[in-house]
Structure 1
Amino acid sequence: MAETIYNLFLVYQDGVCSQVRYVTHEIDASDDKEALDFLLGRVAIDLNNSKTIKLTKPFDKAEHDARSRLGHSQVLWEEVYQVLGAGEQPLSVITPVVNGIPQVQFRSQLGDPDIYLREDMTQGILMDDWIIKYTRDGGLQLSELIHDDYFKAIKITFNARLHVSAMKLLLSAIDSLAYIEFGDERDVFIKWMNAYADLRPLGITSEELWELRNGLLHMTNLDSRAVNKRKVRRISFHAGAKLFYERDGIHFFSFYELLMEIGRAHARWLETYNVNPEKRVDFVSRYDQTISDSRMAHHGSVPPPRG
């Protein structure tokens, strides 16, 4: 019995897909593999003979890749299936097209998250894929992921009494979490802190912590440009339990209590991904652009540490 199968082409212009081109075929194949091989063999021919459907909701490649990693990229072009009366899951091949050229780098199934680190693309370079490593028990374990990539190193340095190094790592981690939340915008550190952390018990503000971050990360001192111009109060930290105190014109707050509050802020932030699962698309897209100790690419086995 003949079946209708589809060659679809996601046409990107300046990184945005606003139209899908398509060709349909009636084929009596013995199995899905035979039908898919038929479609793959006709990609170049079908592109030249395809018709166009404009999307009501264009999307960019970053969103496509993130949804592919999460296993639901098809929602981006399912309206094409509706227009064609193809049903919910028709047999089809999806090919991105950039500047009129089909981008055929590898073959994978919809729902396969491994679209960046495949052995047939990386020529023997091995690296753990974070989304595969931390997906289990029916979902993506975001808390464990963030702990391993950020808070583990902070805890190690803090417990070793390397408090300046630990504070640098903590403030840098907030930078990263803020980028994951808001993207490449201005003042995202302050926005993230204001949204999820309560610094009032420490007697400081998000703006003051931001300027401490600037002084520490850039110069390992307390004097950012804003502090030097007396636009923002000079603050520092101590390792004791007292929430805060003043000395020599400097406001000292408890590093331990800040660490505890950032942990609570982290939990509040992650809860928003349970309330609004769509946020995971931006999370995956932006997290794929970050680096961490757990994602070191290597050839073959990793040599043991020295020293």
Structure 2
Amino acid sequence: MAEQIYNVFLFFDAKDLCSVAGYATHLHEGSDQERIDFLRQRVDADLALAQKVPLSRPFTRSEYNARCRIGEGHHLYDELFVQTGAGAAPLFVSTPVLDGKTHFNYSSEHGDLDVNEASEKLGEPGVMVDWLRKYASDDGINFSQLIHDDYFLAIKLTFNAGLYVSAMKLLVCCIDSLAYIEYGDDRGAFVKWMEAYCDLAPLGITAAELWGLRNGILHMTNLNSSSVLKGQVRRISFRVGDSPEIPRDVGGVYYFDFLGLVHAFAQAQARWIESYNDDRGKFAKFVERYDETISDSRVAVAHLGDGGFATAP
């Protein structure tokens, strides 16, 4: 029996934004694989004939790739199928288009994208653990274990070795990363994330003060960030141990307890993770931004001749 099938085209502009999709339809008999093969053979010809549909919500290529990672790429242009009167589960092939030409280097089935399979087919050297597959289960994503492995393994190693400044640098970098995942490339993301999820009141500090400390220790390994020098925030630092006999405010510096911040951050992380249960729509953006993360827990391993190997983040 003949079925209407679709060649879909996603037109990305110079800024990697897709605001227009296109389609060409065919009535075709045969198995699903035969129909897919037919559509693939017709890609170039159908591109010239494609009817274009403006999308009410444009999306970037990185957003599209992230949605493909979780088998939801087609949701970004579902309105195209609504406009064409397609059924609930139309058979289609989708192809990105850039500068008027089809633009792809890998072809896969619709569904969860296996990045290692893609790398292998593209001939890229090395095998890297896919965090999404490693930490996913039928119950969802184990956010806590993911963050522990990517950040807190190193934080604990340095802290337990008495390298407290290094451990604090790693902790504020972790906050930076989660803030970026939540808010994107926003200079105020660190403070916004801390104010939204972390209760710093028991430590006697504010998110803005912690941001000032973060800037000082990461950029110069001192306490003199620009906001401190301008008098916008107090000069703060940290100590290990919070004995009440030792005052917190000494020599113009306010000292909070390092472990107190770790505990406050752990509670903040739990609140943040819960926000994904409250708003499932956030998950696609999490995948998009976490895919940019590099980690000691995920390095690409390429085996060389004579038993040698090379690694890269």
TM-score higher than 0.5: yes
Aligned to 1:127: 128
Amino acid at match of 1:198: D
Aligned to 1:159: 160
Amino acid at match of 2:112: D
Q: For residues 270 and 122 of structure 1, what CA distance do their matches in structure 2 show?
A: 36
Structure 2: runs of 5+ lacking an equivalent: none
- After TM superposition, the structure 1 stretch with the greater mean CA deviation from structure 2, 292-301 or 82-91, is 292-301
Q: For residues 22 and 247 of structure 1, what CA distance do their matches in structure 2 show?
A: 69
Aligned to 1:238: 239
Contact 2:302/2:310 (<8 A) preserved = no
Could you give the per-residue CA deviations for residues 1-56 of structure 1, whole angstroms, max 9, x where no partner exists? 21211111111223222222111111121x21111111111111111122222223
Residues 104, 233 of structure 1: alpha-carbon distance in 2 compared, 3 angstrom cutoff: closer
Q: For residues 51 and 224 of structure 2, what CA distance do their matches in structure 1 show?
A: 62
Structure 1: runs of 5+ lacking an equivalent: none
SS in 2 for 1:223: coil
What are the residue-to-residue correspondences of 1:209-228 with 2, within 5 Å? 209-228=210-229
Aligned to 1:145: 146
Aligned to 2:285: 282
SS in 2 for 1:80: helix
TM-score, normalised via structure 1 length: 0.93
Aligned to 2:265: 262
Contact 2:301/2:309 (<8 A) preserved = no
What are the residue-to-residue correspondences of 1:43-192 with 2, within 5 Å? 43-115=43-115, 117-192=118-193
Q: For residues 232 and 33 of structure 2, what CA distance do their matches in structure 1 show?
A: 67
| Offset of residue 83 of structure 1 | 1.9
Could you give the per-residue CA deviations for residues 115-156 of structure 1, whole angstroms, max 9, x where no partner exists? 575211242321111111111133222221111111121122
Residues 254, 303 of structure 1: alpha-carbon distance in 2 compared, 3 angstrom cutoff: farther
Could you give the per-residue CA deviations for residues 65-91 of structure 1, whole angstroms, max 9, x where no partner exists? 121112112111222222222211111
Amino acid at match of 1:272: S
Amino acid at match of 2:215: N
| Offset of residue 113 of structure 1 | 2.4
Aligned to 1:291: 294
Q: For residues 296 and 21 of structure 2, what CA distance do their matches in structure 1 show?
A: 39
- After TM superposition, the structure 1 stretch with the greater mean CA deviation from structure 2, 129-138 or 53-62, is 53-62
| Offset of residue 247 of structure 1 | 1.7
SS in 2 for 1:295: coil
Q: For residues 33 and 87 of structure 1, what CA distance do their matches in structure 2 show?
A: 19
SS in 2 for 1:125: coil
Q: For residues 74 and 294 of structure 1, what CA distance do their matches in structure 2 show?
A: 31
TM-score, normalised via structure 2 length: 0.91
Contact 1:113/1:131 (<8 A) preserved = no
Amino acid at match of 2:259: Y
Percent identity for Structure 1 against Structure 2: 49
Give the length in aligned residue pairs. 304
Q: For residues 304 and 43 of structure 1, what CA distance do their matches in structure 2 show?
A: 39
Residues 304, 75 of structure 1: alpha-carbon distance in 2 compared, 3 angstrom cutoff: closer
